[in-house]
Structure 1
Amino acid sequence: MPDLLPPCAPRLFQNPRADLDRAYGPSERAIVSRAAFEEARAEITAWPGYAPTPLRSLKGLAKAAGIDRLWYKDESHRFELGSFKALGGAYAVLRLLAREVSARAPGVPVAALDLVVGRYGTITRGITVTTATDGNHGRSVAWGAQVFGCSCVIYVPAKCSEGRQKAIEGYGARVVRVDGTYDDAVRRAAADAEANGWHVVSDTSYTGYMDIPRDVMQGYALMVEEAISQLPASERPTHVFVQGGVGALPAAVCGHLWETWGRQRPRLVVVEPHSADCLYRSAVNGRPTPAEGDLDTVMAGLACGEVSLLAWALLERGADDFMTIPDEAAVAAMRRLAEGNELDRPMVAGESGVAGLAAVLCAAGDEEARAALGLWPDARVLVFGTEGATDPAVYARIVGRPPESIPPHPCGPAPRVG
């Protein structure tokens, strides 16, 4: 088998608490559920510019990896933000504003269009939303605030790129750079929100802050449902590899597949950078455990040190494996996609967006990891390409050429793939 990536020495932990037979019950549905998902789907699919993002069949990389299928959910064209995060933060802003308007004007129904046209502007203009971000979530919250008519302050860690900060500011948000990590920015945003009467719209949950992160995760579930509907009618994935972060995304994927397919759900592998491995450490210790160090990774959107408590409540028994990879694996995966091959057209994918794919290729090239994960010739793997070149300058520095130099891939809806 040809080398898929440079040797990447993945770390793999098989979750001893994973429970395939456990029913998706009331405690799980209190976090994410199909009932709440249907509300999110009805709302988001009515937004201008909505279209399902494509599901690509990477036949060349599947062949090189020695597996049957490799499906890549390409989020690089999600709305105007180029990231799956558009589904979460903006939806949570809408839900928050609708609740606030209803509380101040009881009995008045509030629709998204009412907020877009400024019908309740006298109320929403006095509301400020805030969050911490490494880039994409903050862009989604800022976009939602601009569209639905409220003010926005976004906190970014010291290492957030200038390009990502400017993209957030482009939606009218004020950006505050914090001298520290993403988790330091989370704490600063929460403290300033309390002091100023602002509303935190975060994708991570912590003691005393649970409701809004549920809305964020329900928005993410739309991406999962789209992928389910786009799979070939007679096929289901045997494995899903999904990037970690604070855990909100893998928990949304886990909960949606668990409730939808039950015991027939695919094996779920949660992927993180070696240097930002809070979910991996939590799995090893059997309880939420922070990562150590400065969280420095090229996968900037995954540079998170503390686990979302809601996410962990699902992943503790719903995730089968936890895996970490080096930065070099993500860089190599970006370049492989940009180059294309005889079967796969070139694609643009961001450094955090390729983490799941990089983990598949990394594991396929490691005999021990391949065997432990069951990546055999009949394996059918789904990964989520969660972002495009959300900072073109960073992309060009990593790949060696600007994203616009790569021939565009057809990006319309893809009902079925082969």
Structure 2
Amino acid sequence: MLIANPRAARTLYPAELRAILSIDKARQSRQWLSHWREIAPVATPLHDLPDLAEALQIARFSVKDESARSPLGSFKALGAPAALVRQILRLHPDIDPQGVLAGRYADRLKNYTVVSATDGNHGRGLAAAARDAGCYCVIVLHANVSQEREKAIAAYGAQIVRIAGNYDESVQEAARLASAHGWQVVSDTSYEGYEDIPRDVMQGYGTIAAEIVEQTAVQPDTAGAYTHVMLQGGVGGMAAGLISYLWEHQGVNRPRFIVVEPVQADCLMQSAIQGRPARATGSVDSVMAGLACGETSPLAWRFLDTSVDHFATIEDNEAIDAMRVLARGSEQDIPIVAGESGVAGLAALRRLRGDASLSAQAGLDAQSRVLIINTEGATAPSVFRQLAGTSADEILQRQQQFSRKNHVR
């Protein structure tokens, strides 16, 4: 399904939004995280896939590959750690922010506990950051988070709390535990009275947009390399973090933004229809675990409300097919390890280009230049192998062979 957002506008980035998320603050977070051992010292790859662009009948198709960001396996390595550093600075304004994740203040933080709900990747990022900072971490997991993802989080020293409900209920349980024990919630979704830390999480994601600007040499207030940027939904935080940066940098010349969600977890599409943060209409349960969210983050919605041009939903089988397309690669296209949530943009693009009416609605044609963000790699290797039909290691071997053959760095 595709709907146009009736409130989408092409304006300069509003001052009231810049006061919340800004390029300056994104640069600050990027600088702090650049010293963390869990972050790659170079930008993640921006791959052009010409064979896939030809198959989709567009001029350019690119993938920003966040699977290479960190051993944590996803873009979430940018959010929770940045938020943890900023929260610790609020408590201890005298410390050096670059020393937090280096463990220089572990003695001061050993009695400090952070807690969060997660579908997997956010919790893993928070657990790793808490371990390196020297504080204690509790992660609340809902019923549909796999044992494999649980073990990956626990490996960083986090205490795991399991509940029987869904993601939204795990968010409520994390808030309850924090209130009962005096812990600090570090969540990527906002709710009434809780916005500072979700803002900091979103600000961390600005690093992705900053690298895209640098890698494509986009000058301020110009249209840049892409006509369309397709972004994952979830609660809206990642989309808001990238959109805010690109909107501020490109102004009225920003690309067309399309946000993609599982059909059964359509909270952002419902927000666009209702004109306010809303709940999903479906079961929420999806193979795209990172996008299986039932409630829109009100803070993220402030940024998406007037900047997203279209909202699209996809089926689980379309995501699985897209995983296999990227894993396969081709003569000119490098194989990519892309997890089930990481391929949402490609899954939607394939659906839209397969329907002339939908393509026309989205402004897609033979001259379009489209960017997607591969937000995760094989964060649950056994699930990945089952869905992609091959292992991440096999894809990485073919990726290396492709790079040697084509002299790709």
Bin of the TM-score, shorter chain as denominator length = over 0.9
Letter in 1 for 2:190: S
- Is residue 96 from structure 1 mapped to residue 81 from structure 2 by the alignment? no
Q: CA deviation at 1:115?
A: 5.4
Q: CA deviation at 1:47?
A: 2.6
Aligned to 1:291: 280
In 1: Cα distance, 2:186 partner to 2:176 partner? 13
Q: CA deviation at 1:114?
A: 5.3
Question: Greater CA deviation, 284-293 or 390-399?
Answer: 284-293
Question: Greater CA deviation, 45-54 or 167-176?
Answer: 45-54
Letter in 2 for 1:205: S
- Is residue 85 from structure 1 mapped to residue 73 from structure 2 by the alignment? no
In 2: Cα distance, 1:31 partner to 1:156 partner? 29
Question: Greater CA deviation, 358-367 or 216-225?
Answer: 358-367
Which of these residues, 174, 187, 192, is aligned with residue 202 of structure 1? 187
Q: TM-score, normalised by structure 1?
A: 0.91
In 2: Cα distance, 1:147 partner to 1:226 partner? 25
Give CA deviations for 1:326-372 in whole Å, capped at 9, x if unaligned: 11110000011111122212221100011011111111112211111
Counterpart contact for 2:101–2:129, Cα < 8 Å: no
Give CA deviations for 1:260-311 in whole Å, capped at 9, x if unaligned: 0001000000000000000001101111110134311110100000001111
Letter in 2 for 1:85: K
Counterpart contact for 1:101–1:110, Cα < 8 Å: no
- Is residue 47 from structure 1 mapped to residue 32 from structure 2 by the alignment? no
Decide whether aligned partners of structure 1 residues 314 and 298 sit closer, same or farther in structure 2, where only a CA change above 3 A counts.
same
Letter in 2 for 1:168: I
Counterpart contact for 1:274–1:324, Cα < 8 Å: yes
Which of these residues, 40, 51, 64, is aligned with residue 55 of structure 2? 64
2:278 is paired with a residue of what secondary structure? coil
Aligned to 1:75: 66
Q: TM-score, normalised by structure 2?
A: 0.93
Letter in 2 for 1:84: F
1:284 is paired with a residue of what secondary structure? helix
Which of these residues, 10, 13, 20, is aligned with residue 20 of structure 1? 10
In 1: Cα distance, 2:331 partner to 2:155 partner? 39
2:35 is paired with a residue of what secondary structure? coil
Aligned to 1:3: none
1:342 is paired with a residue of what secondary structure? coil
Which of these residues, 143, 148, 156, is aligned with residue 171 of structure 1? 156
Q: Percent identity between the aligned chains?
A: 48
Which of these residues, 203, 208, 220, is aligned with residue 223 of structure 1? 208
Question: Greater CA deviation, 124-133 or 33-42?
Answer: 33-42
Letter in 2 for 1:352: S
Counterpart contact for 1:155–1:175, Cα < 8 Å: yes
In 2: Cα distance, 1:151 partner to 1:220 partner? 24
Decide whether aligned partners of structure 1 residues 126 and 400 sit closer, same or farther in structure 2, where only a CA change above 3 A counts.
same
In 2: Cα distance, 1:17 partner to 1:83 partner? 31
Aligned to 1:409: 399
Aligned to 1:238: 227
Q: CA deviation at 1:134?
A: 0.3
2:68 is paired with a residue of what secondary structure? coil
Letter in 1 for 2:265: A
Q: CA deviation at 1:233?
A: 6.5
Give CA deviations for 1:185-235 in whole Å, capped at 9, x if unaligned: 000001110110111111111110000111111110101110121126795
2:367 is paired with a residue of what secondary structure? coil
Q: CA deviation at 1:408?
A: 4.7
Decide whether aligned partners of structure 1 residues 92 and 60 sit closer, same or farther in structure 2, where only a CA change above 3 A counts.
same
Aligned pairs (5 A) from 1:7-406: 11-21=1-11, 23-48=12-37, 49-102=40-93, 108-113=94-99, 116-118=102-104, 120-231=105-216, 236-406=225-395
1:312 is paired with a residue of what secondary structure? helix
Give CA deviations for 1:359-413 in whole Å, capped at 9, x if unaligned: 111111122111111111110011100000000000011122222122253599x
In 2: Cα distance, 1:409 partner to 1:129 partner? 38
1:318 is paired with a residue of what secondary structure? coil
Letter in 2 for 1:58: L
2:205 is paired with a residue of what secondary structure? helix
2:259 is paired with a residue of what secondary structure? strand
Decide whether aligned partners of structure 1 residues 20 and 171 sit closer, same or farther in structure 2, where only a CA change above 3 A counts.
same
Aligned residues: 396
Counterpart contact for 2:85–2:97, Cα < 8 Å: no
Decide whether aligned partners of structure 1 residues 217 and 114 sit closer, same or farther in structure 2, where only a CA change above 3 A counts.
closer
Structure 1 unaligned segments of length 5 or more: list them: 1-10, 103-107
In 2: Cα distance, 1:26 partner to 1:207 partner? 22
Decide whether aligned partners of structure 1 residues 68 and 114 sit closer, same or farther in structure 2, where only a CA change above 3 A counts.
closer
Aligned to 1:8: none
2:114 is paired with a residue of what secondary structure? strand
Letter in 2 for 1:79: S
In 2: Cα distance, 1:164 partner to 1:145 partner? 17
Q: CA deviation at 1:123?
A: 2.3
Question: Greater CA deviation, 361-370 or 269-278?
Answer: 361-370
Letter in 1 for 2:260: V
Q: CA deviation at 1:122?
A: 3.0
Counterpart contact for 1:101–1:124, Cα < 8 Å: no
Q: CA deviation at 1:112?
A: 2.8
